[in-house]
Chain A
Amino acid sequence: MARRGIRNPFEVHLRERYGAPAMPPTQATPTKDQLLTMYRKMYLVRRFEERAGQQYGLRKIAGFCHLYIGQEAVAVGAVEAARPDDYMIAAYREHGHALARGADAGMVMAELFGRDAGYCKGKGGSMHIIDLEHYFYGGYGIVGGQIPLATGMGWKSKYCNEDRVTLCFFGEAAANQGSFHESLNMASKWKLPVIYICENNRYGMGTAIDRVAAVPEIARRASAYAMRGEQMDGMDVLAVYEAMTDAIDYARKGKGPVLMEALTYRFRGHSMADPATYRQRAEVEEEMKRDPILKLREYLVKKKIAKEEDLTAIDEEVKKEVDEAVAFADASPEPALEEIWRDILVEEGEEDVKPRERVLGKKVESWPETPPPDLKVTWEVEPRQPAKKAG
């Protein structure tokens, strides 16, 4: 599939919109601190995933492991554009989303290792990290399975008159699932504050999207639901940040959901078990020239926002953090045998487990709670009455 002419995204932002109704771009500009945070988070995700790949090779991670390398700009740009208490939910390539949200790298790695110190006691593994402290409602292993959940979370925000939005990440192949259609229809009809973010990395496992989708430009499908749809360059964190800032602003104001399509690319195979022979080497090499981390690094240096040595210092800190994460995971025991029977149904008087409190003994301050609903607002859920004919 052609890249639709994006060659220099830092100068030319793709702002193509589909469906109703368009908003003028806000030209959000991140501060220096935010830029450095984005760089740090993107490199953390990259380094974490590289080490996860190594650990998989050492058989410390079993089963399936999907690396986010190449797509870092999408999760990081979106998270930085959102508020820390906005809800977030993702698919199975979600280590990066959890880390971008602020999850503890050691506990994420421990979950990958299937250890007790993992976010879900090692019961979930790579595809199923959940960190409610950071309002991250999880990775989901069924393609498209999480999309209706996001619709419900958006519904909750609206019902309780919260001004939160929900960010829902999924791949382009998930957009062919029925759950996508059902969810977007409902979300748009009810004007729910959800941003559906399709990370279009062009391949659903080994099948290119244009081989199986009648309309491979996912954002165009928004028009079928009378909702706003927009493409953004997913290899450019600033483009993502800017486009997501607009989209979040729109949804937070109660104007309805948005379908964002991030044009991105994974540098590795679908999972660790996939040699990715369905892609031409030249294609991968061409895409790797658009590495979102190098791009941001060049930008920061060129614009004199940071010096090379500042960025190298960040790299070194991150490497150390990830080394510690691996060591932390290594040191954690496997879950106790009785865990197999625990957490199936809620036991009498049992409280919800707060992972960082359980593992690290840290006081968890933030935790999702339901505010009492304020039902003064009447929803526009009824079809409009047809206008009376004159005369």
Chain B
Amino acid sequence: MPTLNLVQAVNDALRVEMRRNPDVVVMGEDVGKFGGVFRATAGLYEEFGPERVIDTPLAESGIIGTAIGMAMYGLRPVPEIQFSDFIFPAFDQIVNELAKLRYRSGGQYAAPVVIRTPYGGGIKGGHYHSQSPEALFIHTAGLKVVSPSNPYDAKGLLLAAMRQDDPVLFFEPKRIYRAARGEVPEGDYTVELGRAKVVREGDDVTVIAWGAMLHEAERAVEQAAEKGISCELIDLRTLWPLDIDCITESARKTGRVVVVHEAARTCGLGAEICALIQERCFVHLEAPIKRVTGWDTPFPYTLENEYLPRAPRILMGIDEVAAFEA
């Protein structure tokens, strides 16, 4: 089985699906001849031609709007927004048009658009090349939101996303595009949307993370184990619809939960997860649920590593939750 990095796995998924289904087209800024700013679409233009790997103008609203029109009956466009920070010019199209089409048409049609976008900090990108806007889309009914943490999931989740009929926001953690490496099967397989994965089993504290922060959490969990704290680590993989059964099962077992994400804290997905857990597992909880997240600030440049919830800060959160006594 070949070893790929995350961006190669994305590239492989696109190639597999484009070979299989002529309705799939890739579009975006620099995705064609240039091969994508992170090389996610490298080689696709050469194999599939300009009709299926479309170099668009720099116009995010137009790209997404056009993709919606393509998808409204039958095509499966996979637009790339070069950085998730650039998604806001298209926010209107995604929230007001894409997310609502099935509902407002009374079920007449759906628009299966899969929007791929690199997200998150860790590359010294500053304010406009580092943000994690996933919660804004989870707050909008009618969208699915996915974020893989490793190459295997990236390929399998992307293939699954391109084969179902709802619009999907596919957030790719660009910080680990090359750092995350792993075995990826050749050819075809899918990872079901809506299923979290227990990466490591444990009894004392549940740690929930996704994307690039999964790896920070993994380091923290290992260090906690050395101190004798047994953590259960969950990789959400699909952020919406949330695998609430997986979360509650673990929360009931440990009674202590830490949620990690790099997006700002207030109204982040962590807040929603906390609320859902306390609604469902109140009597099982033995400590307040801890959020270890980015700060409520614009994404900083120099102080990036202080902003991100890296392993030491996650470990502090685990310690705090594990030590809590009512």
Residues of B within 8 A of A122 (CB): 106
Is B278 in the interface zone, CB < 8 Å from A? Answer: no
Residues of B within 8 A of A146 (CB): 97
B65, A344: Cβ atoms under 8 Å?
A: no
Minimal beta-carbon separation of B55 from chain A (angstroms): 7
Is A71 in the interface zone, CB < 8 Å from B? Answer: no
Is B142 in the interface zone, CB < 8 Å from A? Answer: yes
Stretch at the interface among B56-64, B195-203, B294-302: B56-64
User: In whole angstroms, what is the CA distance A350 to B50 when docked?
Assistant: 34
Residue from the list B50, B97, B141, B166 in contact with A346, Cβ < 8 A: B166
CB contact under 8 A between A119 and B51, given known A142-B96, A148-B68: no
Q: Size band of the B side of the interface?
A: 35 or more
Chain A interface, DSSP helix/strand/loop, else mixed: loop
Is B115 in the interface zone, CB < 8 Å from A? Answer: no
Residues of B within 8 A of A375 (CB): 22, 49, 51-52
A370, B166: Cβ atoms under 8 Å?
A: no
User: In whole angstroms, what is the CA distance A342 to B103 when docked?
Assistant: 7
Stretch at the interface among B70-78, B151-159, B170-178: B70-78
CB contact under 8 A between A343 and B65, given known A145-B92, A156-B75: no
Is A353 in the interface zone, CB < 8 Å from B? Answer: yes
Is B8 in the interface zone, CB < 8 Å from A? Answer: no
User: In whole angstroms, what is the CA distance A183 to B52 when docked?
Assistant: 19
Residue from the list A128, A151, A344, A370 in contact with B62, Cβ < 8 A: A151
Minimal beta-carbon separation of B236 from chain A (angstroms): 18
Contact with B along A355-390 (1 / 0, CB 8 A): 100000000000011101101001101100000000
CB contact under 8 A between A355 and B22, given known A152-B66, A345-B166: no
User: In whole angstroms, what is the CA distance A297 to B65 when docked?
Assistant: 40
B49, A149: Cβ atoms under 8 Å?
A: no
A152, B22: Cβ atoms under 8 Å?
A: no
A130, B105: Cβ atoms under 8 Å?
A: yes
Minimal beta-carbon separation of A216 from chain B (angstroms): 23
User: In whole angstroms, what is the CA distance A151 to B56 when docked?
Assistant: 12
- B58-112 residues with Cβ-Cβ distance < 8 A to A are 59, 61-62, 64-75, 77, 89, 92-93, 96-97, 102-110
Residue from the list A128, A149, A185, A355 in contact with B72, Cβ < 8 A: A149
- Closest A-chain residue to B25, C-beta based? A159
CB contact under 8 A between A345 and B107, given known A148-B66, A373-B23, A378-B49: no
Is B241 in the interface zone, CB < 8 Å from A? Answer: yes
Chain A interfacial residues counted at CB < 8 A: 55
User: In whole angstroms, what is the CA distance A156 to B67 when docked?
Assistant: 10
Is A241 in the interface zone, CB < 8 Å from B? Answer: no
User: In whole angstroms, what is the CA distance A382 to B49 when docked?
Assistant: 11
Is B164 in the interface zone, CB < 8 Å from A? Answer: yes
User: In whole angstroms, what is the CA distance A148 to B109 when docked?
Assistant: 18
Is B243 in the interface zone, CB < 8 Å from A? Answer: no
Residue from the list B54, B64, B75, B144 in contact with A370, Cβ < 8 A: B75
- Closest A-chain residue to B23, C-beta based? A370
Minimal beta-carbon separation of B315 from chain A (angstroms): 37
Minimal beta-carbon separation of A101 from chain B (angstroms): 14
Residue from the list B49, B57, B72, B105 in contact with A186, Cβ < 8 A: B57
Residues of A within 8 A of B241 (CB): 345
Contact with B along A131-160 (1 / 0, CB 8 A): 010000110111001111111111110010
